[in-house]
């Protein structure tokens, strides 16, 4: 067993190269960025976000990855198996420099019990989505998706704004922390419950959350006053969601909008059962993991039952991608799926056009590079009002964590177009160092997750996971800088398979060709996946953009 370490990862910045090429350097800096104190939730344990989503299996593996990336040639490819570097092969300059497979298990073994057994033996690692594939950029990475979700909800339910409404949610972790800011960006009031005071403080420090309260009555009073005044405000309320929601019902409070982003996908590490302080929970998790999971699942059932009651009383309720409905259903809450998941409710039309959480990060560490790219984006897409509004708002309200980065939901065609703009800016020296371009696995064509991204597909193909595999393969063929294939991200073991891709714009002509290929096929797989499932918007997009689909009726 390795001794507990309090290591601090210090990332490289600036224009000086340490590896043998910018792609290797990019992988190195993005790995380090995932574990930056400002970015990761528990960097001392290599945990980046989402329960126990890690960037490397252990510190020994981390050191070996760093050493290998520093020595890796421009015609070699490093293979990572669940956070451990296992081989370096000769490949060629256009091949990915790194290929990663994280947390994959043969389907009949794909459950948490088996995963934990292997994890204990040091044979596997939970990669979540962007943790194990080195393109996590902190809460900012999710904030636009969360903003777009609440904006669409506001359009559908409240005439386009959350003004004079209260949104109730729980979970202020790496991803969930984006909720309060997204609600206030849509002019609403948000109460976000978290059982861990440190998480509340962290979100206040990073400007994602406005105020903290430890008292339910006080939080309800402040929220009510802000709602009446039409003033955007977010309140972090200390407490356990499974305890607070029933109390709110007792007190006669009902929110206008209701969701949850605790790490319910992982009953052992991501959810605290009712009646336990954080310290007591940590002790029980270690002493009696079976009892912990049992109590945690029971609390989730209570939590979902309260959500269903609030829904019946009129709250617009949706699942926010943490699989809490499935756990509650397994615990006997028959109507757990009465509220929809956020993808079918608000996001799928975007996926049909290949739109999703596209992002880029400045390897220089210089915020000025991102500002210049923002300006280029505003010029290039000046007719897209929604996009321009987003960029201006992001500039004003989002604090960078780690390497400066920007999240921007671009679709098919626009990603490749903007990839070239960025590469040209690197080539001309307008930005000071290469730019890393990537995306979340929660994207249009890169994930099979029947309780989340592929819930309620029109043709019933929710669980077909050929799609993320094809997505990874074509991105590797096209020359993405690193490509990953994961299992269990977002919703836990057995419930998802997904792939990631990252590509470096280093200003070379070679990069320009690779960017054109990969930034076309990657969102293109989103259009194809949805067109194949029968979505008219995707079929129209495929036809208009000239995507070749041999069996699509022309």
Based on CB atoms, which residue is closest to ligand NAD, 154 or 172?
172
Q: Which of 190, 352, 388, 408 is catalytic?
A: 408
> In 10 A of CB 251, how many CB atoms?
11
Based on CB atoms, which residue is closest to ligand NAD, 166 or 531?
166
The residues near 509 (Cβ < 8 Å, ≥ 6 apart) are none
- Ligand-binding annotation for 175, yes or no, is yes
Q: How many residues bind ligand NAD (CB under 6 A)?
A: 34
Q: In angstroms, give the least distance from the CB of 242 to ligand NAD.
A: 5
97, burial (CB in 10 Å: exposed 0-12, middle 13-18, buried 19+)? buried
Residue list 303-332, contact with ligand NAD (CB under 6 A): 320-322
Based on CB atoms, which residue is closest to ligand NAD, 282 or 399?
282
β-strand partners of 90:
76
Based on CB atoms, which residue is closest to ligand NAD, 15 or 156?
156
Stretch 5-44: interaction string toward ligand NAD, x if CB under 6 A? ------------------------------------x---
Question: In this chain, which of 168, 195, 431, 547 binds ligand NAD, going by CB under 6 A?
Answer: 195
For residue 46, state whether it binds ligand NAD (rule: CB under 6 A). no
C-alpha 20/C-alpha 164 separation (Å) is 55
- Ligand-binding annotation for 271, yes or no, is yes
Q: In angstroms, give the least distance from the CB of 482 to ligand NAD.
A: 20
Question: In this chain, which of 31, 154, 189, 241 binds ligand NAD, going by CB under 6 A?
Answer: 241
DSSP per position, 131-172: TTTT----THHHHHHHHHHHHHHHHHHSTT--TT-EEEEE--
Residue list 253-272, contact with ligand NAD (CB under 6 A): 261-265, 270-272
Q: In angstroms, give the least distance from the CB of 277 to ligand NAD.
A: 12
Q: 68-73 contacts: CB < 8 A, separation 24 or more?
A: 69/19, 69/24, 69/25, 69/27, 69/28, 69/31, 69/98, 70/18, 70/19, 70/20, 70/24, 70/28, 71/20, 72/19, 72/20, 72/21, 72/24, 72/97, 73/20
Spell out where 211-256 has E strands.
211-213, 233-238
**Active-site annotation holds for 190:** no
Residue list 432-471, contact with ligand NAD (CB under 6 A): 442
For residue 193, state whether it binds ligand NAD (rule: CB under 6 A). yes
**SS3 per-residue string spanning 314-372:** CCEECECCCCHHHHHHHCCCCCHHHCCEHHHHHHHHHHHCCCECEEEEECCCCHHHHHH
Numbered residues of the known binding site for NAD(+): 50-51, 128, 174-176, 194, 199, 240-241, 261-265, 271-272, 320, 490
- Catalog residues that contact ligand NAD under the rule CB under 6 A: 41, 49-51, 142, 145, 170-176, 193-196, 199, 240-242, 261-265, 270-272, 320-322, 442, 490
Write out the binding residues: 50-51, 128, 174-176, 194, 199, 240-241, 261-265, 271-272, 320, 490
């Amino acid at each position: 067993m390795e001794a507990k370490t309090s290591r601090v990862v210090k990332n490289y910045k600036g224009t000086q190269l340490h590896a043998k090429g910018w792609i290797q350097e990019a992988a190195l800096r993005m790995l380090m960025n995932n574990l930056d104190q400002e970015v990761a939730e528990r960097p001392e344990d290599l945990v980046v976000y989402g329960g126990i989503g890690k960037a490397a299996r252990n510190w020994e593996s981390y050191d070996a990855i760093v050493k290998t990336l520093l020595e890796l040639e421009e015609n070699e490819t490093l293979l990572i198996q669940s956070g451990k570097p296992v081989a370096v092969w000769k490949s060629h300059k256009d091949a990915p420099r790194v290929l990663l497979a994280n947390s994959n298990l043969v389907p009949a073994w794909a459950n948490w019990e088996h995963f934990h057994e292997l994890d204990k033996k040091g044979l596997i690692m939970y990669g979540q989505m962007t943790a194990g594939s080195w393109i996590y950029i902190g809460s900012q990475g999710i904030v636009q998706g969360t903003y777009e979700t609440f904006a669409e909800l506001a359009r559908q339910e409240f005439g386009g704004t959350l003004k004079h409404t209260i949104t109730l949610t729980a979970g202020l972790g790496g991803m969930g922390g984006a909720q309060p800011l997204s609600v206030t960006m849509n002019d609403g009031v948000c109460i976000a419950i978290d059982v861990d005071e440190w998480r509340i403080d962290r979100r206040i420090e990073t400007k994602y959350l406005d105020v903290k309260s430890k008292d339910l009555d006080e939080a309800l009073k402040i929220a009510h006053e802000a709602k009446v005044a039409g003033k955007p405000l977010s309140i972090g309320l200390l407490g356990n969601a499974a305890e607070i929601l029933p109390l709110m019902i007792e007190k006669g409070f009902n929110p206008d909008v209701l969701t949850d982003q605790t790490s319910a996908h992982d009953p052992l590490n991501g959810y605290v059962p009712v009646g336990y302080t954080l310290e007591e929970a940590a002790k029980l998790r270690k002493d009696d993991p079976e009892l912990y999971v049992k109590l945690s699942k029971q609390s989730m059932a209570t939590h979902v039952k309260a959500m269903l009651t609030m829904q019946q009383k009129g709250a617009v309720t949706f699942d926010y991608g943490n699989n809490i409905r499935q756990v509650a259903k397994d615990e006997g809450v028959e109507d757990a799926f009465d509220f929809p998941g956020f993808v079918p409710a608000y996001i799928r039309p975007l996926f049909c056009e290949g739109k999703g959480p596209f992002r880029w990060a400045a390897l220089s560490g210089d915020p000025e590079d991102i500002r210049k790219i923002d300006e280029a984006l505003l010029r290039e897409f000046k007719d897209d009002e929604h996009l321009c509004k987003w960029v201006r708002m992001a500039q004003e309200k989002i604090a960078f964590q780690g390497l400066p980065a920007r999240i921007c939901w671009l679709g098919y065609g626009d990603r490749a177009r903007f990839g070239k703009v960025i590469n040209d800016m690197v080539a001309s020296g307008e930005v000071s160092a290469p730019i890393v371009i990537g995306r979340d696995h929660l994207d249009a064509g890169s994930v099979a997750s029947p309780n989340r991204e592929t819930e309620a597909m029109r043709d019933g193909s929710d669980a077909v996971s050929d799609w993320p595999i094809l997505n990874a393969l074509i991105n590797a063929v096209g020359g993405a800088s690193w490509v990953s294939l994961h299992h269990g991200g977002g919703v836990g073991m057995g419930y998802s398979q997904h792939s990631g891709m990252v590509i470096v714009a280093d200003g070379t002509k070679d990069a320009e060709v690779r960017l054109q290929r990969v930034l076309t096929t990657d969102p293109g797989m989103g259009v194809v996946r949805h067109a194949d499932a029968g979505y008219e918007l995707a079929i129209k997009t495929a036809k208009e953009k000239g995507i070749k689909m041999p069996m699509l009726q022309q």
